[in-house]
Each structure stands twice: as C-alpha cells, then as structure tokens.
Structure 1
Amino acid sequence: MTPLDRSVRALLADVARAAILPRFGQLSTAEREEKSPGDWVTIADRESEALLATGLRAIDPHARVIGEEAYASDPTLLDDIGTGRLWLVDPLDGTNNFAAGRTPFGMIVALVDDGVVQHGWLYDPVADRLSHAAKGRGAFIEDVQVRAVTVERSQPIATYSKYWMSDEKAAMLERRAEGILSLKEGLRCAAAQYPALVDGQYDVALFERLFPWDHAAGALFVSEAGGKVARLDGSPYRLERRDVGLLAAASPELWNKAAAVFGG
C-alpha cells in the first residue's frame, strides 16, 4: 500500500470501531429514521461522516469533502462536482441492511480531481477488508493486486435491484434475461457489490441509483481490475450524471452480453 492508502485505511478502521460496529444490531428506534420512504439513515451514518470528514481533511487539507449526509442537508454540494479536488464519502453504505441488523454494509471514500476519480477505497468493517484502486495503477485487496475473476457458467449471474424499480420494469428485464442471464436481487450495498464482481461471486451488476459517493470508488476498482463499467449506451461513467442506467461487469465481454439485455 502507498502511504495514502495506509492513512485512509487506518482512518476507516478507526471510524468503524468508534461509530459503526458498536451499534451494529444495537440501534434503538430513536437512532434511525427514514430520509424518504424505504431510505434509512442512522446515528452511525451521521457520526461516522463527521469523523471521516475531519480525518480526510487532515490527510489532504486541499480537498473539500462531500458526504452523503451533508448532501441530504445541502443538495447544492454537487453543483460543481466536476471542479477541483474533493473527497467523496459514503460513511455507511448499505444503511438499510445495517439498520435491519444484517450485512453487508461498508464504507466508501474516493479522491477526485476535476471530475476524474484518482483513488477509491471500499472498506468492509466486519471483515476488516479494504478493496482499493488508483487510476492507472491497478486494483488491490489489502496489499495484493487483483484481477477480476470470470467464472464459466451456463448463464452469467447478474444482480439488479427490484426495490428501486417498478414491477413492470422488473418483469420486463426478467423476460429479456430468460435463457441469457441468471438474475439475482442485488446486495443493496455498493461497497460489497463492486468487490463481489471482482472476486467472482457475481458477473454483472445493474445499478439504478447513481449518487457519486456510491459508485466513484467501485467503478474505478472494477475497471482497474480488468472489468468494465459504463452507461447502458456504452458511454463512460461520469460523476455528474445521476440518471439511471449504470452497468458493471467482470469483463468487457460480460458487459456486452448484459448490455444486450438491459439496454434494449
């Protein structure tokens, strides 16, 4: 790991021990609430974001911090996301899982320069495992460089989230995928979903919600591991675009096969 990777990893682990892990399975009703129907936030989200923001500013004081919970209070924070140096922070990804007392959940940080993701870190607090990547330098799990595993299957396993789409759209995707892809419900945690593409658990993931803190680090990680992440029309993923339709796969070939189903 580089000194930057070690600093970010230590910060993530410290914040997880202080604000997240002690509350896993221990939340009271007063410590969680719905930001919108079906979209939860907890005291762990808010406390861990505050701690991460302080720590990241200490690591790089020239980069501003944009976190998921800060955005909830001030949506204008994303207005100039393509300008300057910034940290993108999802302090507790998979909050709905965490609030229900189940895994997976994780922590995500990305470092961005003028709209280009330079570094990304996805941390699993329960396993104490860091997946990370640097643009042009590869993808790593802890200190080991990794390449995406492509498993020979009769039908590639593709995840999607019925939760964020209409019943009609889900049924349409299932009809298109029949005999081509094996569709599974997604993990509802990008911090876990992207590494699962690289380690061979899944082959493809279709994402509906495109907030940048959810995808900046993971898209870099999968791409640097030899996979492909792009819009359904094949155009590159860009942080400022938040309309639906981001497809990630363990290889370009798998991406093309899935795009024929999801993008039709």
Structure 2
Amino acid sequence: MLALMRGVAEKAILPRYRNLANGEVEDKGGDDPVTVADRESEAMLAEGLARLDPSLAIVGEEAAHADASVLARLSGDCWIIDPLDGTRNFATGKPPFGILIARAEGGLAQSGWIYDCLSQRFCAAHRGNGAFVDGQRVTARQTGEAQPVAAISLLFMDMGKREAVMQHIAPHYRLVDVPYCAAEQYPRLALGENDVSLFERTLAWDHAAGVLWLNEAGGKAARPDGSPYRVDGDSHGGLIGAASPQLWEGMAARMAQV
C-alpha cells in the first residue's frame, strides 16, 4: 500500500503543489475545493486498489460527489479513498495534505492507511493488530499539558452549536488551530501534539482510516454518544477523537451538556 500511495503522490499530487494552473481548481460548493490533482490521484488509486483486490467496491470522494449512488457501496465490502485530503491547503500552496485509504466490511473499517505527501510519514492499522508509523508500532500519548490541548473544528456546525461549544467547552481546553486535514489531525492525537478534537462532518473518506488507526493506537474515536463510527452512518453525526479514553470521556460529558 505504501508503494501505491507514494507513487500516486509523486506522479499526480506533488508535481502540482504550488504549481496549479488557472482552471485547475474548482469549488464543488460550500467552499469545498477540488483540483485536477484530486481527480488524477483518485483515478490512479482506484486502478491500483482494483488490482490489489478486484472483489471490493470502490468509494472515492470525487466519484461520490459526481454520483451520490456510489455511497450505497459503503454498506458492503469496499475500498474508501480520499485522494487528496487537505485540498483547501494544497490549493493555496501550504501543508498539510495527504492521502487516506480504508478497507471496510459491513460498515466498519478493517484496515486504514494515512500517507503524508510531503514528509512521507506512513500510518497503518489493521483491526485488532495495533497502529504503526513507518513500520514502528505506536501507543497514543497525551501532550502532558495541565490544560488539555484541543483542536475544535467549527466549520460545519450550525451557529447555535458553534456558540455553545465556544462558551461551554472551549474554556476547559487550550485551543489550537485545526489543520483542515484529517491525515494530519489523527496523527496529532496519538503522537503527543493534541489531546482531543471535535469533528462535525464525518464523511467516510475523511475519517474511516483515522478512526481505526487512533483506536488501534490506544486512543479513542467515537460518536459523542459513545457508539462506534460507521462508514455508512450519518455524515454529520459528529465525532470526538482523543489521545486516551479518559480524555474522550471528559469531552463527551461536556458535549452532552451542550
């Protein structure tokens, strides 16, 4: 999987980093950009994954945007592709950005891979077998700060919820900027940079790989009510990710009061 992701990054993504021509960036609507690199990366990844296991359906972010019926495949056995996570950053010529791939069965991710195109950091996880970074097993660790460090994404919250979160939850944490890139946010939660994160929009290609990887590392990612994240579930159901189950419980308790 590493060879596939690295090869696609080198051929479809990195040559266009800070080198996008006029007309190679579009808005899919709602300030959601897509570039020619997204589309070429997805086509190449889909081709490569089909060779690895042609029995699995393929759910790519751009294919699903073009044809919503693709989302029905999420309930079965499938590959899930985010061909360029962090497009907002990539399109403006700044990091982070990466590639996310997951393999799911029956609505749950069974394997997940996260590749950082610039640093080449490669995160991998298989259900029940732990989480790895560049081949080394990792255990989630907290920042150790007196006030837990939180990255809270307000982007897709309605105004009422946004105000409630900032009034009742934010004061309990030291807030840091969100990276607008799940391929960066999930590693931060396990590698001692962030303690907890809130997500509102929970599309499968953004979260399937990261949720599995963080849980396998010994952190916790789940819906605010404690139910597991399903790739075929509500795409706006909210999600809490944390460096430990205890930090997750603290955020969940506060969210229950909002």
TM-score range, shorter chain: over 0.9
Counterpart of 1:42 in structure 2 is 35
Listed as ranges, the matches of 1:203-222 within 5 Å are 203-222=195-214
Partner of 1:152: 144
SS at the partner of 1:12? helix
Could you report, residue by residue, the CA deviation over 1:58-100 in whole angstroms, capped at 9, with x for unpaired residues? 11111121100000111111124222x2100000001011001
Q: Show the counterpart of 1:32.
A: 25
**Alpha-carbon distance change, 25 to 256 in structure 1, aligned in 2, over 3 angstroms:** same
- Residue 79 of structure 1 is matched in structure 2 by 72
Residue matched to 1:134 = 126
Contact 1:155 1:179 (C-alpha < 8 Å) held by counterparts = no
* Counterpart pick for 1:16 among 9, 23, 26: 9
Partner of 1:67: 60
Range 113-122 or range 46-55, more displaced: 113-122
> Aligned in 2, Cα 1:108/1:127: closer, same or farther, shift over 3 Å?
same
Q: Is the 8 A contact 1:177 1:183 kept in 2?
A: no
Amino acid in structure 2 at the alignment position of 1:222: L
How far apart are the structure 1 equivalents of 2:240 and 2:66?
29
**Aligned with 2:104 (options 106, 109, 112):** 112
Q: Does the residue aligned with 1:136 lie in a helix, a strand or coil?
A: coil
State the TM-score, normalized to the length of structure 1: 0.93
- Contact 2:127–2:216 (8 Å) recurs in 1: yes
Q: Give the aligned partner of residue 226 of structure 1.
A: 218
CA displacement 1:179-201 (0-9 Å, x = unmatched): 42222331110011001101011
Residue equivalent to 1:163:
155
In structure 2, the residue corresponding to 1:111 is in which secondary structure?
strand
Q: In structure 2, the residue corresponding to 1:79 is in which secondary structure?
A: helix
Cα RMSD, aligned residues only = 1.3
Candidates 93, 97, 106, aligned match of 1:101: 93
Name 1:3's counterpart in structure 2.
Answer: none
Which shows bigger deviation, 10-19 or 28-37?
A: 28-37
3-state DSSP of counterpart to 1:122: strand
Single out whichever of 209-218 and 161-170 deviates more from structure 2. 161-170
The unaligned stretches of length 5 or more in structure 2 are none
Return the offset for 1:212.
0.5
Alpha-carbon distance between aligned partners in 1 of 2:157 and 2:176, rounded to the nearest angstrom: 14
SS at match of 1:81: helix
Distance between the aligned counterparts of 1:148 and 1:173, measured in 2? 25
Aligned partners of 1:90, 1:82: CA distance in 2, in Å? 17
What is the identity, as a one-letter code, of the residue corresponding to 2:180?
Answer: R
Q: TM-score, with normalisation over the residues of structure 2?
A: 0.95
- Please state how far the C-alpha of 1:167 moved relative to its aligned partner: 4.2
- Deviation by residue 1:29-72 (Cα, 9 ceiling, x = unmatched): 21000000310000000000000000011111111211000001
The one-letter code sitting in structure 2 at the alignment partner of 1:206 is L
Contact 2:143 2:149 in 1 (8 A): no
The residue number in structure 2 matching 1:4 is: none
Q: CA deviation at 1:261?
A: 2.3
The CA distance in 2 between the partners of 1:186 and 1:149, in whole Å, is 19
Shift, 1:178, TM fit: 4.8
